[in-house]
Structure 1
Amino acid sequence: MQKLIELSNLYFSLPTPTFKRYLFDKIDFKSKLIGILGQRGVGKTTLIKQVAQNYKLSQSKMLYISADNITNSLSEIAIEFSALGGTLLIIDEIHKADNFALELKTIYDFVDIKVIFSGSSALEIENSKVDLSRRALFYELHSLSFREFIAIKFEIDLPVLELDNILKNHQDIANSVKKEFKPLEYFKLYQDFGTYPFFTEGELGYNLRLNEIINIILDSEVASIYNVDSDKINIIRKLLHLLCASVPVELNIQNLAKEAGISRNTLYSYLYYLQKANLLEIIGANFKNKKLLNKPDKIYLENINLYNILCSDKNSPSMRESFFISQVKIYHDLKHSNIGDFKVDDTYLFEVGGKNKKFKQIKDEKNSYVVADDVEIGFGNKIPLWVFGFLY
């Protein structure tokens, strides 16, 4: 315990970023058991530290541990720390701990201590033999929005915008933002290195770091959580590259399985793993117990920076649509549409394209909008793509 306390003191002595991610204000701090899930690299460790510090406890009352750096069980650590007067246990990388669900249940039921933990987005919480859903509040942290990138990179903290406000007032919003910075210039930077907060550790090495993170997600998290052999992980990696070459609207599942050298059912399982790991965003699919119940309408890489790493030939339409999805999905229901590209909240129809995109396909549809890339200020129902980066 003494060694854990020493490492915890070092953790809390390090500077904490002042900017708080969108999820911070959504957390119920009264809960005894709080779980922050998300893809590696999105900032979970920083967030759980900020959440812990929000309790304003003395350092002796808080213990930070990383589950890949312990020898005792989580419950043993919690019991001993509670006996020493500890009131808050912070566990990073919980998916590295043995029997973590049972251990958390034991702590919740028998130890008088609050627990905040982080874990991989690929965790099978809902299928765990121990039901944590009745005990823990789970939150998912996604990649940086365009708004958050600007706040961290340039210290320009602009407000979150409601979707209805964007649809009605996007011209005024764009003109207001233009007084602060050139939106297209900053949006280009976001496309290059803006979706993960570790860009603050060096922009030149950003792509190398992101490539390492993708490899860790596949070789460690997906492999261990879903018991996938290393040779099969290489097929999953190949599948990601194949998806780069596929135009979403022309997606052919049978051809994709053939190119990857796997069966259709195996393909569906791998797609499920990649979606759970937040490397893919699958539109129109419905999974149950790792089985796909219906054919996906479109498949994208989860965020725009992944295209820089995984795709030798960048697909601009896919990247635009991936960005739109990544920003809208946080607070809104998004579906594929046969007319236009996406239906949001079963109300709004969006067609996503370049700056010269016309209304031809959706001109007769109610509540329809063109979302245009490379446009600084829109007009009427034509809205700049970058503006949707202020939804969270």
Structure 2
Amino acid sequence: MDIYRVNHQQLLKGIRCNFQRYLYKQIQWDDRLIGIFGSQGVGKTTLLLQRIKLAFDDSDKALYLDLDSILFQREKMVNVAMQFYKEGGTHLFLDSVHRYSDWMSEARKLLDRCPDLHIVFATSSLLPVSKVMRGFKNQVSCHILGTMSFREYLSYECVLDLPPISLDDLLENHAEVARNVNDQIVVAPIFRNYLEHGEYPFYWDDPDAYPYRLQDRVRDTIEIDLPAIYPVGYQVLNEIKRLMMLVSGQIPNVSDIADLATQLKLEATDVKRYLDYLKDAVCLRFYQSNKSANHRYQKTYLGNTNLLMAFEEDVNDRVVLGETFFVDQLSNFATVELLGNNDFLVNDKYTFMVGDPLMDYERIKEVENAYAAIYGQPKSQNNKLPIWLLGLCY
């Protein structure tokens, strides 16, 4: 037990709590079983450790266990947790649970045998939330942690502290909100920095190596997280990596599945399955309008603009950057659908045309609940708003 406690204490020493992700305040920490899902690098581990430090500090009531640790090749997690509970522990924080094959059955045993025990676990976005809900008979509170929003980045960089604003309130008052922000900071260079390196908190660990670390995150997601959840072999992993690189080079108008299969010399059914994996890992995002063919994704994007710039050199297409930012930010709190004219429908209510200042937006001028989200426009005017405003909602 001592070695797990030492690891726990050492990790807490390096944790700062001056900045917390948006999800920290949304979680009902009194719930008995809490799950946090997210892609690699978004800050799941930091969120767990911040909760321990803020709520328990040096108390022995909490224990952090990384289930990917080699120590669990020697003894079961359930035995370590039972000993922790017998010694008076009440809150167990389990990280990387998807890399420990029996974690769900052992967690159920703990909940049955330890009536005062609370469990918080973190896992990959590749693990289906529905599977976890079924495994715990819906007795689990599940949350998805996305990448940092533009609002969070402003706070993280100590540039500007703003409360999150709902999409409805933002669109009703977008001119005032834009004016308030513009009165305090020069947005354009800060927003460009965010698009390049603002989505993941680990940027400042080594700024020069940031693009390579993002590439490594994608590789590790495919090579480590994916086979921990699905029965895939070495050859399949290489095929998925080849597909990822092929698709990333065609963004946003990617070949249909049949063409991708031909180029990679694979079966179309396998390509479809691999694309689903990459979507669940938030490496790629697919949008298909009702008017497009059954097997064609009309628009395909990398998971966020940081990934886009890490995989593609000299990305200067403001429409592609704007659309990637748009779907990334809004997908964290709203439903996003692609319409047949390449506009986006959000929450079945708002229509957005995403573009740059040189585009013609006349066709949405008189349309109810229609807006132009423009990359390169500094302020709001009528139904045209700077696209960075949509990064202030979470």
Cα offsets for 1:18-74 (capped at 9, x unmatched): 111111111111211111111111111111122234434652111111112232222
8 Å CA contact retained: 1:356, 1:372: no
CA spacing shift, 1:41–1:249, aligned 2, 3 Å: same
Structure 1 residue 235: Cα displacement: 2.0
CA shift at 1:275, angstroms?
A: 1.2
SS in 1 for 2:92: strand
Which stretch of structure 1 is more off in the superposition, 213-222 or 246-255? 246-255
Quote the Cα distance in structure 1 between the aligned partners of 2:6 and 2:299. 49
- Check whether the contact 1:125–1:132 (CA below 8 A) recurs between aligned residues: no
Of residues 75, 96, 109, the one that matches 2:99 is: 96
Q: Structure 2: which amino acid aligns with 1:367? A: N
CA contact (8 A) 1:223 1:230 kept: no
2:308 is aligned to 307
For 2:223, the equivalent position in structure 1 comes to 219
Structure 1 residues 193-242: Cα deviation after superposition (integer angstroms, max 9, x where no partner): 11100012122221122122111111111133222222222221222222
Contact 2:153–2:198 (CA under 8 A) maintained in structure 1:
yes
- Is the CA contact 1:32–1:113 (under 8 Å) kept in the aligned structure 2? yes
SS at structure 2 position matched to 1:17: coil
SS in 2 for 1:60: coil
SS in 2 for 1:64: strand
1:10 corresponds in structure 2 to 10
Cα distance change, pair 345–38 in 1 and its aligned pair in 2 (3 A): same
Instruction: Give yes or no for contact 1:357–1:372 (8 Å, CA) kept in 2.
Output: no
Moved over 4 A (4+): none
User: Are the structure 2 counterparts of residues 130 and 344 from structure 1 closer, same or farther at C-alpha, using a change threshold of 3 Å?
Assistant: closer
1:41 and 2:80 are equivalent in the alignment = no
Q: Which among 264, 271, 288 is matched to residue 268 of structure 2?
A: 264
1:363 Cα offset (Å): 4.1
Asked if structure 1 preserves the Cα contact closer than 8 Å seen for 2:15 and 2:46, the reply is: no
1:59 partner SS:
coil
Aligned to 2:348: 346
1:196 correspondence with 2:197: no
Retained in 2: the 8 A contact 1:333–1:344?
A: yes
Q: CA deviation at 1:295?
A: 5.1
State the superposition RMSD in angstroms. 2.2
Deviations 1:91-145 (A, max 9, x none): 1111121211111111122223111111111113433696125222111100111
Taking structure 2 as the reference length, what is the TM-score of the superposition? Answer: 0.91
Q: Could you say if the C-alpha distance between residues 229 and 60 of structure 1 is closer, same or farther in structure 2, counting changes exceeding 3 Å? A: same
Give the 5 Å matches for 1:49-88: 49-56=49-56, 58-69=58-69, 70-71=71-72, 72-88=75-91
Q: Secondary structure at the match of 2:131?
A: coil
Aligned to 1:290: none
Q: In the superposition, relative to structure 1, how do residues 49 and 15 fare at CA in structure 2: closer, same or farther (>3 Å)?
A: closer
Which deviations, in whole Å up to 9, do the C-alpha atoms of 1:166-208 show, x marking residues without a partner? 2232222222112222111101101111110001212222112
Q: Does 1:106 align with 2:106?
A: no
In the alignment, is the contact (CA less than 8 A) between 1:126 and 1:133 conserved in 2?
Answer: no
Residue 332 (structure 1) aligned with residue 334 (structure 2):
yes
In the aligned structure 2, how far is the partner of 1:381 from the partner of 1:285? 24
Change (3 A) 1:374 1:34: same
SS at match of 1:356: coil
Give, in whole Å, the separation in 2 of the partners of 1:282 and 1:7: 40
Say which SS state the counterpart of residue 195 (structure 2) adopts.
helix
CA distance in 2 between counterparts of 1:196 and 1:228 reads 28
Q: Is the 8 A contact 2:15 2:50 kept in 1?
A: no
1:149, CA displacement in angstroms? 1.0
How many angstroms apart in 2 are the aligned matches of 1:390 and 1:330? 12
AA of the residue aligned to 1:189: N
Alignment correspondent of 2:145: 141
Question: Per the alignment, do residues 155 and 247 of structure 1 end up closer, same or farther by CA in structure 2, a change over 3 Å counting?
Answer: closer
Using the aligned pairs only, state the percent identity: 28
Give yes or no for contact 2:287–2:298 (8 Å, CA) kept in 1: yes
Give secondary structure in 2 for the equivalent of 1:299: strand
Q: 1:379 to 1:224 in 2, by over 3 A?
A: same
Q: What secondary structure is seen at the aligned counterpart in 1 of 2:208?
A: coil
- 2:121 counterpart letter in structure 1: F
Structure 1 segment 234-273 matched on structure 2, within 5 A: 234-248=238-252, 251-273=255-277
Give the distance between the partners of 2:187 and 2:370, measured in 1 at CA: 24
Q: Is the 8 A contact 2:289 2:337 kept in 1?
A: no
Name 2:321's counterpart in structure 1. 319
Residues 221, 34 of structure 1: alpha-carbon distance in 2 compared, 3 angstrom cutoff: same
Q: Which runs of 5+ in 1 are unaligned?
A: 287-292
- Counterpart CA distance in 2 for 1:254 and 1:56 is 54
Aligned residues: 386
**Structure 2 gap ranges (5+):** none
**Alignment partners' CA distance in 2, 1:130 and 1:377:** 47
